[in-house]
Amino acid sequence: MISDAQKPINSGFNAKSETKDIIKDIDLNNKVAIVTGGYSGIGLETTKALVAAGADVIIPAKRPKIANQNLNGIVSEDNVIEMDLGNLNSVKSFSDSFKENFNTLDLLINNAGIMACPETRIGNNWESQFAINHIGHFLLTNELINVMSDVEGARFVSLSSSAHSITGILWDDIHFQSAKYDKWMAYGQSKTACSLMAIEFNTRMKDRGVEGFAVHPGGIITPLQRHLEKEEMVALGWLDEDGSPSELAKNFFKSTSQGASTAVWCATNPDLNGLGGVFCEDCDIAKRKSEVDESLQRYFGVADWAINSDEASKLWEATELMIEKL
């Protein structure tokens, strides 16, 4: 089943809205937020925006030294806590540390991730993109879910991507243990999983006052592309042969602030009250793919498989089993 709310609300913002526009008149004083990957790329811009609105932002960081350098003057070193999404013991340790120091959590933004990387196995022979982008975040979310319960206005935001349109969940071979590894199929599946996590989170938590949203941030050149060669980005249409941004990139790509805006909008905007369980892009609720011009479906709209509540429930339960078997 797909939410009836999965349609634009004419938010008044757009693809080029900056985070400063989103947080104007938003007061996050006395609010606590966690932003994974909140020290690089759009995650850093998300952190800056939340801090500017008054939030106390906690940053789980695989590389705390680099995080503290990037966040100097933005958040204190005490708010940067080591965590590796590829190591579930590390995720558990971070969660325990947070709960020792905070009784409630207002905003959880699962922003960190990897993209189109070479085949790597972690955990229980898990494919690394699915493991880091989905399983690690899934454990983090479940460890913190009780401190979000019954917190007025609490929200969960899970970063997906237009790459979710590559594939739904590969139920017969999620971890590419039989099929030949394909880095883009693996990435697309992981981003479908990120969307479905928000859908099921909302189903489970909406009666406890907490809402979940999936977000496609848009095309942005950030360190996320570190595994891609120039030739591949040319083939994708992101760069011209000389390495400069293509016309496609100039027309559709965003600055890092613009790329962070949809996540910040989903985390803070009161117009979304009661509308959880949807996929958002360009600072509005996204259209379904079937309602987008066919020539633009590669980049815009959400595929039904990424917002289907039956798929979301199935994935939640399957991920619980994966973690239990570790």
Nearest to 307 by CA among 291, 283, 286: 286
Residue 187 annotated among the catalytic residues of the structure: yes
* Residue type (1 letter), 87: N
CB 37 within 8 A of CB 67: no
Annotated catalytic residue, options 31, 48, 183, 191: 191
Annotated catalytic residue, options 3, 62, 158, 187: 187
Residue 128 annotated among the catalytic residues of the structure: no
Annotated catalytic residue, options 17, 95, 158, 160: 160
Per-residue three-class SS string for the chain: CCCCCCCCCCCCCCCCCCHHHHCCCCCCCCCEEEECCCCCHHHHHHHHHHHHCCCEEEEEECCHHHHHHHCCCCCCHHHEEECCCCCHHHHHHHHHHHHHHCCCCCEEEECCCCCCCCCCEECCCEEHHHHHHHHHHHHHHHHHHHHHCCCCCCEEEEECCHHHHHCCCCCCCCCCCCCCCCHHHHHHHHHHHHHHHHHHHHHHHHHHCCEEEEEECCCCCCHHHHHCCHHHHHHCCCECCCCCECHHHHHHCCCHHHHHHHHHHHHHCHHHCCCCCEEEECCEECCEHHHCCHHHCCCCCECHHHCCHHHHHHHHHHHHHHHHHC
Residue 90 annotated among the catalytic residues of the structure: no
- Write the CB contacts of 324 (distance below 8 Å, at least 6 apart in sequence): none
Nearest to 316 by CA among 137, 114, 90, 84: 137
Burial of 68 (0-12, 13-18, 19+ CB in 10 A): middle
Structure tokens of 167?
């594939």
The residues annotated with a catalytic role in the active site are 160, 187, 191
